[in-house]
């Protein structure tokens, strides 16, 4: 080797390793720029997928998929407080604050309340089923992997891509929605400027890794929760004639114009909107793979779902039905699904004649929208990375860097977020309609699959000789709850097919309008079937038998039975009030 080169290298090394100043160690870290660039390198502990490509016709190796999902190098940086806020407020966004206005106009206040309550009860069963499986198997991919592992690899493939596409569509949807919220103040700045700003903010948060996502969601969710609680207090005051020049309302609007609009079909028509509003609750299961101690923090987070459903949705929407008639033209004539001028929360404040507060509520809605966009990047990137590790997506998406970020998956999500620039075109409404069509039914399929996977898991657990006492966390709804959740999800799909095939006012619609309406309401179903059938035919996968399911790979803390017994013995000594509190919290 060239001696001059070695000499120069020795001099540089001596300079870099010069005696440290007082209080310093001899090891020095590189510059900030160097450390940032180095963090994007592949995690040295990450395993590289070495299996044969699909074209070689190799059969799907479900054991290999389970191993890779269990040993993902994602960083376990989320804490209990992060998980709780993701569970409580992670999905509160346009579905509640704005979309509920369209639901109120379509079905009336009773349909609004019934639809959200029924979807909420079904979701309660699904999230508890997910929590039971995620505590014992906190693996990458979560519910999509559970479908692969406990139902059929083809169905897991379909559910994984269904969930990824849902969030990939929601990201530009929420970016556009955020830019539209600015229009409430009649800003003359181009929508493209706001789209760019919100896109940069959302992507930047996710580039800080899972801890950055967790901290951002903690702040965003705290703001949303405070706002909803404040609205509930204000709504009670306004309903009882406490506003400026107000009068007692009570249930006046339930009598005139009425509790229901468009009858039973009006009720069926709002189920998907309710499902869209609750989308994201299942992220607690996806985040389990990046949680420091899922056995401790996940059960608490799952139990918080009860309060979110009861307090933040049911109570607030009951007040919305009391404060605004479904015939209000602002609800009907909203320019888009994200038009905050059509938000029942904003309208009720404006009706009360309270100055400035409507703008404050609009700011909260903007924060909520950014929060859901933030969750969209997180949900889609983790799902794509898990699919790639399980040989169900292109291999480059499995790249995870030294900070635990699925880098290429985040890049794909970020690129699709650029569709948000459609907000600056005259195709904004059309784009919004099809983004919602892709994501609308997706949650219904996801929740139904979670319930079915739990049913199959419990069957395998029993057949292979395990006891329910060996589960660190058990679903409060139990096996019956999973059956109820699964059946109800199927009924929602049937009801939505009917509403899509024969929508309200279909007698006066043209054939083109009918076809467009059907696909705008039911597009997710043919997409899921296409993924499932194509994978099934290509790889000839079989529905798994309960006795053959792998119940060991990826199990966290196999030898904690003594801890569980000790905890349960301690719980038996609790007073009744504490047992009741811990049941719900």
| Complete domains list, the chain, with CATH | 63-229+255-584 (1.20.1740.10)
Read off the pLDDT band of 23 (50, 70, 90): very low
Q: Is residue 15 pLDDT above 50, yes or no?
A: no
Q: What is the pLDDT of residue 254?
A: 92
Read off the pLDDT band of 160 (50, 70, 90): very high
Q: What is the pLDDT of residue 230?
A: 92
Please return the burial class of 504, using the count of CB atoms within 10 Å of its CB with bins 0-12, 13-18 and 19+: middle
- pLDDT, the chain, mean: 81
Q: What is the pLDDT of residue 339?
A: 66
CA distance 66 to 49: 13
Summarize the confidence of residues 175-186 as an average pLDDT.
Answer: 81
Q: If you search the block for the tokens 């993902």, which residue do you land on?
A: 72
63: nearest Cα among 550, 564, 399, 529: 550
Choose the weakest-confidence range: 62-71, 327-336, 410-419.
Answer: 62-71
Q: What is the pLDDT of residue 12?
A: 44
Q: What is the pLDDT of residue 46?
A: 59
Summarize the confidence of residues 115-135 as an average pLDDT.
Answer: 90
CA distance 166 to 266: 25
Q: What is the pLDDT of residue 18?
A: 44
Read off the pLDDT band of 274 (50, 70, 90): confident
Radius of gyration of the chain (CA): 25
Residue 291 phi, psi dihedral angles, 5° rounding = -105, 135
Are residues 563 and 188 in contact, defined by beta-carbon separation less than 8 angstroms? no
pLDDT digits 0-9 by tens, 423-439:
667 766 677 677 777 77
514: nearest Cα among 524, 497, 500, 526: 500
Q: What is the pLDDT of residue 182?
A: 84
CA distance 127 to 130: 5
Summarize the confidence of residues 211-227 as an average pLDDT.
Answer: 89
Angle at 581 between CA 575 and CA 584, to 5 degrees: 140
Choose the weakest-confidence range: 17-21, 83-87, 169-173, 525-529.
Answer: 17-21
CA distance 371 to 405: 19
CA distance 403 to 401: 5
Of these ranges, 238-247, 392-401, 455-464, the one predicted with the greatest mean pLDDT is: 455-464
Choose the weakest-confidence range: 57-61, 67-71, 305-309, 434-438.
Answer: 57-61
Give the chain's largest Cα–Cα span: 95
Q: Is residue 62 pLDDT above 80, yes or no?
A: no
Alpha carbon 155 to chain centroid distance? 20
Neighbours of 432 (CB within 10 A): 21
* Span between the terminal Cα atoms of the chain, in Å: 68
Choose the weakest-confidence range: 61-70, 260-269, 518-527.
Answer: 61-70
Q: What is the pLDDT of residue 447?
A: 93
pLDDT digits 0-9 by tens, 443-493:
899 999 999 999 999 999 999 998 888 888 899 889 999 999 999 999 999
Per the omega criterion (within 30 degrees of 0), is the bond before 257 cis? yes
Share of the chain above pLDDT 70, in %: 81
């Amino acid at each position: 080797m060239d001696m001059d080169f070695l000499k120069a290298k020795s001099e540089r090394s001596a300079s870099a390793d010069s005696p440290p100043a007082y209080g310093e160690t001899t090891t020095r870290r590189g510059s900030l720029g160097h450390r940032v660039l180095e963090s994007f390198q592949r995690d040295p502990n990450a395993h590289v997928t070495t299996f044969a490509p699909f074209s070689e016709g190799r059969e799907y190796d479900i054991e290999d998929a389970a191993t890779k999902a269990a040993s993902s190098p994602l960083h376990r940086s989320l804490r209990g407080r992060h998980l709780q806020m993701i569970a409580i407020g992670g999905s509160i966004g346009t579905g509640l604050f704005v979309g509920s206005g369209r639901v109120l106009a379509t079905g009336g206040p009773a349909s609004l309340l019934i639809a959200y309550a029924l979807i909420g009860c079904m979701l309660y069963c699904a999230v508890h089923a997910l929590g039971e499986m995620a505590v014992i198997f906190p693996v990458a991919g979560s519910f999509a992997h559970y479908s692969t592992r406990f139902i059929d690899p083809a169905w897991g493939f379909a559910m994984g891509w269904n969930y990824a596409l849902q969030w990939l569509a929601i990201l530009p949807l929420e970016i556009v929605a955020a830019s539209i919220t600015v229009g409430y103040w009649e800003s003359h700045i181009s929508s493209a400027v706001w789209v760019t700003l919100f896109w940069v903010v959302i992507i930047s948060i996710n580039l800080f890794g899972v801890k950055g996502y967790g901290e951002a969601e903690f702040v965003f969710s705290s703001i949303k929760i405070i706002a909803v609680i404040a609205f509930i207090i204000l709504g009670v005051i306004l309903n009882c004639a406490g506003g400026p020049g107000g009068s007692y309302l009570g249930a006046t609007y339930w009598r005139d114009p009425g509790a229901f609009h468009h009858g039973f079909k009006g009720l069926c028509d709002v189920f998907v909107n309710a499902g869209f509003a609750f989308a994201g609750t299942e992220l607690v299961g996806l985040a389990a793979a990046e949680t420091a101690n899922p056995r401790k923090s996940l059960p608490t987070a799952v139990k918080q779902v009860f309060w979110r459903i009861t307090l933040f949705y049911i109570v607030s929407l009951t007040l919305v039905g009391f404060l605004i008639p479904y015939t209000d033209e602002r609800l009907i004539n909203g320019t888009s699904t994200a038009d905050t001028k059509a938000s029942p929360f904003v309208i009720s404040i404006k009706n009360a004649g309270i100055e400035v507060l409507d703008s404050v509520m609009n700011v909260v809605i903007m924060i909520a929208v950014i929060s859901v966009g933030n969750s969209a990047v997180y949900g889609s990137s983790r799902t794509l990375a898990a699919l790639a590790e399980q040989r169900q997506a292109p291999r480059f998406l499995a790249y995870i860097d030294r900070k635990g970020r699925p880098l290429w998956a985040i890049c794909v999500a970020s690129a699709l977020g650029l569709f948000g620039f459609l907000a600056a075109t005259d195709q904004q409404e059309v784009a919004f309609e099809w983004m919602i069509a892709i994501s609308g039914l997706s949650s219904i399929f996801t929740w139904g699959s979670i319930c079915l996977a739990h049913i199959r898991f419990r069957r395998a657990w029993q057949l292979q000789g395990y006891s329910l006492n060996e589960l660190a966390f058990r679903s409060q709804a139990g096996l019956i709850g999973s059956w109820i959740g699964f059946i109800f999800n199927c009924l929602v799909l049937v009801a939505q097919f009917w509403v899509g095939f024969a929508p309200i006012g279909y007698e006066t619609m043209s054939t083109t309008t009918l076809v467009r309406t059907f696909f705008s309401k039911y597009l997710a179903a043919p997409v899921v079937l296409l993924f499932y059938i194509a994978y099934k035919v290509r790889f000839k996968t079989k529905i798994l038998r309960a006795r053959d399911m792998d119940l060991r790979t990826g199990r966290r803390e196999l030898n904690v039975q003594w801890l569980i017994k000790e905890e349960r013995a301690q719980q038996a000594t609790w007073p009744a009030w504490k047992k009741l509190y811990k049941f719900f919290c």
